Amino acid sequence: MNYRFRTARQGALRDTPALQFEEKEPEPLVKPIQGRMPDSKEEFYVAMALYKLGHSFIYQYQVFGGTGIRGGQIVDFLVRTTVPRSTLIQVYGKYWHSGEMGSEDKFKLAQLENEFAGQADVLVLWAKDVPTIDDAYTLLRGKIGEA
């Protein structure tokens, strides 16, 4: 048997998928944060920015019993070294939060602000605002400063 394959000159290979993508720099490899894989690359970027700023933090901090108890939740970061109080950071992206603040998100944030009033500030970072580690660093440096 003799097989013949079409060539680009014959028109079969004009628009290959590889030619449709732009050349861009590869994204940094996402690694575990305190032994846990992050749910998004933006969480990883925030963690790297917090390390760079010299802050001590707990990743995936359980509040009100965590997800195992009704009404419980997990805060992405509890930053312990900010002055005068700690800072709770939530990183919101389109996948889980549909790109806007829903009623459940508002309720959970109000619950955190009420529980930690006077002890910690609550900060929400949207994934679109931290597309790189450098952007996360700049944003966090302005919001909570260096340790």
Q: Are residues 76 and 59 in contact, defined by beta-carbon separation less than 8 angstroms?
A: yes
Confidence of residue 56 (pLDDT cuts 50, 70, 90): very high
**Dihedral, 77, 61, 79, 29 alpha carbons, nearest 10:** -40
The model carries a pTM of 0.76
Mean pLDDT of 33-55: 94
Is 34-143 a domain of CATH 3.10.580.10?
Answer: no
Domain ranges of the chain: 34-143
Q: How far apart are CA 92 and CA 124, in angstroms?
A: 7
Share of the chain above pLDDT 70, in %: 76
